[in-house]
Amino acid sequence: MLRWSIIFILIAIVGGVLGFAGVPTHIQGIAQVCFFVGMALFIGSLVARNFVHGHHHH
């Protein structure tokens, strides 16, 4: 899951750069969605990892 979050964040960065370069604005919208999805996956994976590791220490 962490790999997917990094991929989405990279897509968002590329989309943001293209948006600043004057490429049509719908790409920026897609980039924003990818960024939020990436961040959600990243946070989710961290929470899941902490949750799973937390249960190993009884």
- pLDDT tens digit sequence for 8-48: 888 777 777 776 666 666 767 777 787 888 888 888 888 88
**pLDDT for the residue numbered 24:** 65
Query: What Cα–Cα distance (Å) separates residue 50 from each residue in 9, 19, 26, 58?
Result: 21, 36, 36, 14
pLDDT at site 47 = 84
Is the model's pLDDT at 57 over the cut of 70? no
Q: What is the pLDDT of residue 5?
A: 79
Q: Decide if 41 contacts 1 (C-beta within 8 A).
A: yes
